[in-house]
């Protein structure tokens, strides 16, 4: 699927996820005791591009409450929370990876605690991607 069509489809999915998360919070907010500040769900569209293959993937990650289409949203939200949504601050896990060259580029768009996120990075292979991003792009 061309990038523009996939991006449009995933943007639509992201919009639905944001609206669903906000709607889910409304009944809780009406019944909850007053808080010191509003809690806003963090929503990210995550995309994995593998040039020259049909293995491109996308997932929606919602944190606070945890959800979306990410298969391990809890671990992915924890990964983001450790760097307060600053994906550039993610540090690589030490460990072995092959020297296979199978480039992969990842993208993250959305909002973390009301702050916009637009991040991309390329890795030489999937192993280095997972070492560098933990559970965030493990789908």
pLDDT, tens digit (0-9, with 9 covering 90-100), for 95-139: 899 999 999 999 999 999 999 999 999 999 999 999 999 999 999
Q: Parse the chain into domains and list their residue ranges.
A: 3-30+40-137
| Secondary structure (DSSP) of the chain | --HHHHHHHHHHHHHHHHHHHHHHHHHHHHHSPP-SS----EEEEEEEE-TTSS--EEEEEEETTTEES-TTHHHHHHHHHHTTT-GGG--PPP---------EEEEEEEEETTEEEEEEEEESSHHHHHHHHGGGG--
Per-residue confidence (pLDDT) for residue 39, from 0 to 100: 66
Confidence of residue 31 (pLDDT cuts 50, 70, 90): very low
* CATH class in words for 3-30+40-137: alpha beta
**Whole-number average pLDDT of the chain:** 81
State pTM to two decimals: 0.72
* Rounded mean pLDDT, 21-36: 42
């Amino acid at each position: 699927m061309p990038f523009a069509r996939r991006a449009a489809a995933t943007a639509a999915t992201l919009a639905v996820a944001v609206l669903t998360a906000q709607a889910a919070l409304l009944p809780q907010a009406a019944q909850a005791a007053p808080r010191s500040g509003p809690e806003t769900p963090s929503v990210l569209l995550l995309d994995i591009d593998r040039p020259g293959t049909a293995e491109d993937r996308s997932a929606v990650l919602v944190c606070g409450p945890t959800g979306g289409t990410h298969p391990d949203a809890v671990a992915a939200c924890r990964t983001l929370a450790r760097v307060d949504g600053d994906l550039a601050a993610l540090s690589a896990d030490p460990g072995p990876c092959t020297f296979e060259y199978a480039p992969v580029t990842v993208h993250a768009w959305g909002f973390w605690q009301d702050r916009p996120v637009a991040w991309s990075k390329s890795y030489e292979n999937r192993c280095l991607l997972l070492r560098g991003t933990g559970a965030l792009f493990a789908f």
